[in-house]
Structure 1
Amino acid sequence: MVFAGKRPNNLGVSNGKLASCPNSPNCVSSQSLDTVHQIAPLNFTSTPEQAITKLKNIIQSLPKTKIISENGDYIYAEFKSALLGFVDDVEFYLDRNANVIQVRSASRLGQSDLGVNRKRIETIRAKLK
């Protein structure tokens, strides 16, 4: 747990928005407007309730992952890297107005994540289909 870092205190949904990404490139967000951090939200064709249940099952099936909190349309999970135990904070927010799941995946420490956060969201996207 050398590289766990502190859990951020700016997570959650505020006015329908997840926290912004920091300036460092080790974060992706479906609500970010800049190309470095931008990633498409997750789409679903089921009911919102089925989508959030399926998403939760996918998260729980991934290794070194722990759901920290969930509240209706929101899930916050921590993903640990296999090698050094770096922790990424990953949030999912079911946006009923847009009928998508907004996502934010950010590394706690360091600058570059070597594309890990983007890859993780794309893996979850593929499993959700």
Structure 2
Amino acid sequence: MKKKIILITFIIIVLLYTAFIVYNQYSDSTASGVIDGKLAECPDSPNCVSTKTMDGSKIMEPIPYTNSTEAFEILVKVINEMPGTKIINQDSNYLHVTFTSRVFRFVDDVEFYFDEQEKFIHFRSASRTGYSDLGVNQERMDKITNRMINEM
């Protein structure tokens, strides 16, 4: 009887985990593109950072650049060297990338906007699901920013 309960519990856990992964993979993107020169505002949850947010706890500094073509190439290189990345949309001044975590398959949407007038790369990095990301989006954007600054 005890083995049967353990087996049923295990099957339920596997089914719930599978359902969670499927839901997370196919949930809606938080990326909205650039509207009037701005990326979307971060949600109320603490799982987002942005260079253009009005929320002081989520704001980060944009990445400065001098040559947009060079900066774009370096950004794509940096992103492609990171695990779990997929470039979703790319044009001359915008890049939408997803980052998928290894174990739980959480998907984060990251958008980059090259502001030619200011010579800054603005970004927004947000989790698709959940409430807290335990600082993952900020840590990722710190790494990307540091690599960009070091390679330009």
Whether TM-score is above 0.5 comes out as yes
Change (3 A) 1:64 1:72: same
Q: How far apart are residue 60 of structure 1 and its match?
A: 0.8
Higher relative contact order (CA 8 A, sep 6+): 1
1:105 has 2:122 as partner = no
Gaps of 5+ in 1: none
2:138 paired residue number:
118
Runs of 4+ in 1 over 2 A off after TM superposition: 1-5, 7-10
1:83 paired residue number:
103
- Does structure 2 retain, via aligned residues, the 8 Å contact 1:5–1:108? no
Change (3 A) 1:10 1:55: closer
User: What TM-score results when the alignment is normalised by the length of structure 1?
Assistant: 0.93
- Does structure 2 retain, via aligned residues, the 8 Å contact 1:4–1:108? no
Larger helix share, 1 or 2: 2
- Secondary structure at the counterpart of residue 84 of structure 1: coil
- Work out the CA distance in 1 between the residues paired with 2:109 and 2:74: 19
The residue type paired with residue 142 of structure 2 is E
CA deviations over 1:27-63 (Å, ceiling 9, x no partner): 001001211221111122x411100111011111111
1:36 has 2:61 as partner = no
- Does structure 1 retain, via aligned residues, the 8 Å contact 2:31–2:109? no
- Work out the CA distance in 1 between the residues paired with 2:124 and 2:57: 13
The residue type paired with residue 136 of structure 2 is V
Q: How far apart are residue 6 of structure 1 and its match?
A: 1.7
- Secondary structure at the counterpart of residue 140 of structure 2: helix
- Does structure 2 retain, via aligned residues, the 8 Å contact 1:91–1:103? yes
Percent of paired sites with the same residue: 41
2:88 to 36, 49, 68: 68
Q: How far apart are residue 105 of structure 1 and its match?
A: 0.2
Gaps of 5+ in 2: 1-20
- Work out the CA distance in 2 between the residues paired with 1:36 and 1:84: 26
1:127 has 2:147 as partner = yes
- Secondary structure at the counterpart of residue 25 of structure 2: coil
1:13 has 2:34 as partner = yes
- Secondary structure at the counterpart of residue 52 of structure 1: helix
User: What TM-score results when the alignment is normalised by the length of structure 2?
Assistant: 0.80
Q: RMSD of the alignment, in Å? A: 1.3
Change (3 A) 1:114 1:56: same
